[in-house]
Structure 1
């Protein structure tokens, strides 16, 4: 397993921003996603990827899954591809957010971009995947369902308990990403749109 330097770097920068958010009043209001991002305050489209909209719980969850999903993606993709999926999908998904959820923020949609890489690698049974990749993916899908109603986050825990480290769970984890993308998109949840974009880009860039 190679050192996930991009994951570490982006996680550290995001964590530092989150500390500022917790200690400086008004940070989220200044840098989060609002309709003002389409009306002069253009920086919000970028900065909203670094501030979190669910307080301490959102910060801890997003940093944890950035570390997990980011590290997995960095094992199976080139670093330019990693950056494209994280920031490219994240920025495009902000515009989905302006349409579906115009007020918010967080790194979760950028993580969904990386999830596209992971989903394709899981389906292909990429030998470079860590043993825990399927479990981490199920947990992330559960966390995304938790954005609809927090108890749904436990679906990921249940899935991990069922599959544990069984080899056959690899492809089902990839299918779980697609299922999550379809359901959340149907409910106009921003994470669904980000997952769809991430998976489609993952298919297009799978050789990179």
Structure 2
């Protein structure tokens, strides 16, 4: 019994340390990508504030109404046998890490979402977060793991910025971006499955960057035609 309790504390400490390391790497890479300081000359990130508020309200409500967690969390039994697939999304809006985990998740989503909004835009940022939340929770259900929290989606969103940095820069900047999914692999090996969110978040970032570049190229190519028609 005491051995299991000790192992649980060690696993909890390891997860906390590796999660903190991942966030530091994400914020450094994203700040490098967006600019330092990232808020200079930038508009107010209203989309990120709105998304953070949507996560914060139920997360804080559950502190005084604990039953809310059971109604919204990622419960493999309810998802697979009772058709409550909406839990794949709602689980990202409540927390299972107690007060420390809730504070960590709410602080990190404000920071990472703002950085992502400044680079990808508000709509793309929000869509990426929601898609990553569903993917992370589907992964949890596949492994028969109950839980809740926005950390997986936040990590994936941050990793998408690391991908953009790795693709668009060279040298040390590129290495800084690539380091994020590599740390994700190490985290996964250590049993922290938030690491997988860093890996597929990086892949999502590669896709977003390619689509954004393609869209910009098509817009540039259409400008001469528009100018000729105007003249």
Give TM class, smaller chain: 0.7 to 0.9
Closer/same/farther in 2, CA of residues 13 and 125 from structure 1, 3 Å limit: same
- Which residue number in structure 2 is paired with residue 200 of structure 1? 203
- Alignment partner for residue 39 of structure 1, among 55, 66, 81? 81
Structure 1 stretches of 4+ with a deviation exceeding 6 A read: none
Please tell me whether residue 65 in structure 1 is matched to residue 125 in structure 2: no
Q: Indicate conservation of the 8 Å contact 2:93/2:150, yes or no.
A: yes
CA distance in 2, matches of 1:25, 1:93: 23
RMSD: 2.0
Deviation at 1:33, TM superposition (A): 0.9
Where structure 2 has 5 or more consecutive residues not aligned to the other structure, the ranges are 1-41, 213-231
Closer/same/farther in 2, CA of residues 18 and 59 from structure 1, 3 Å limit: same
Q: Indicate conservation of the 8 Å contact 1:122/1:171, yes or no.
A: yes
Deviation at 1:79, TM superposition (A): 2.6
Closer/same/farther in 2, CA of residues 106 and 29 from structure 1, 3 Å limit: same
Where structure 1 has 5 or more consecutive residues not aligned to the other structure, the ranges are 127-167
Closer/same/farther in 2, CA of residues 173 and 67 from structure 1, 3 Å limit: farther
- Which residue number in structure 1 is paired with residue 71 of structure 2? 30
Please tell me whether residue 53 in structure 1 is matched to residue 96 in structure 2: yes
CA distance in 1, matches of 2:184, 2:164: 16
Richer in helix (by share) = 2
Equivalences, count: 167
SS of 2:93's equivalent in the other structure is: coil
TM-score by length of 1: 0.72
